Amino acid sequence: MSSLKVGDRAPEIDAQTSAGDRFVLSKQEGLCTVVYFYPKAFTPVCTGETRLFRDNYNELLLAGASLVGVSTDDSGTQCKFAGDLHLPFPLIADADKRIARAYDVLWPVVGVAQRYTFVVSPEMRIEAIFHHELSAEKHRDDVLRFVHAKFEAQRPRVS
C-alpha cells in the first residue's frame, strides 16, 4: 500500500516520454493529471488497462484531465508498447524505479510497480488514489467517475 494519502503533495515527475518529449508533472495544466502506474508492458492485464485508458482518453481530455502512464520498463519497451497500442498519451519508462519509489508503489519482492492511479491537482496535491491490482475495468471506472464528478463540481451552474 502506498504511504501517500489524499491531500499529500505529489512527488514531482520530470522524465522523457515514449513520444520523445519531456513530461513535467508540475507544468501540467487543466483540471487534473491522472498518473497511472502499471507493472509491465505487454502483459495481458497491463495491456488491457492501457487500452481502456486509450479508449477513454478523449473523455478524460474533454473533462480537462491529462493522462500519463508509468511502469518500471525500459525506454525501448515503453516506446514499442505506446506505438503498438497507438496511444494518444505519453508513457514514462521508470527503469531506475525513481518515480515508483517516490510514489511508494513498488512490489517489495518483485520490484515492479503495483497498479495505482493518482489524480493530481495543478497545485500538485493528490486528490484521489485508486488501487485495483486485478480489475483494470474497475480501476478505469473509478478514475472516470472521479474526474467526471470533479468536472461537474467545477462547471458553472446556469439558473
Which range is least confidently modeled, 21-35, 88-102, 143-157?
A: 143-157
Q: What is the DSSP letter of 8?
A: S
Where do we find the cell 439558473?
Answer: 159
Give the residue with greater pLDDT, 134 vs 52: 52
pLDDT exceeds 70 at position 159:
no
Query: Considering the domain boundaries, does residue 84 fall inside one?
Result: yes
Q: What is the pLDDT of residue 148?
A: 85
For the stretch 50-93, pLDDT in tens is: 999 999 999 999 999 999 999 999 999 999 999 999 999 999 99
Determine, yes or no, domain membership for 119: yes
What's the CA gap between 95 and 156, in Å, rounded? 43
Please determine, for residue 157, whether its predicted confidence score (pLDDT) is greater than 70. Answer: no
Task: Answer whether residue 158 shows pLDDT above 70.
Answer: no
pTM, entire model: 0.92
Cα distances (angstroms) measured from residue 132 to each of 1, 25, 30, 54, 107: 11, 23, 26, 18, 14
Domain count for the chain: 1
* 12 pLDDT higher than 90: yes
Is the pLDDT assigned to residue 32 strictly greater than 70?
A: yes
| Domain assignment of residue 115, yes or no | yes
Fill in the DSSP letter of residue 119: E
The domain spanning residue 138 has which CATH number? Answer: 3.40.30.10
Please determine, for residue 8, whether its predicted confidence score (pLDDT) is greater than 70. yes
Domain that holds residue 129: 32-152
Annotated active-site positions, please? 46
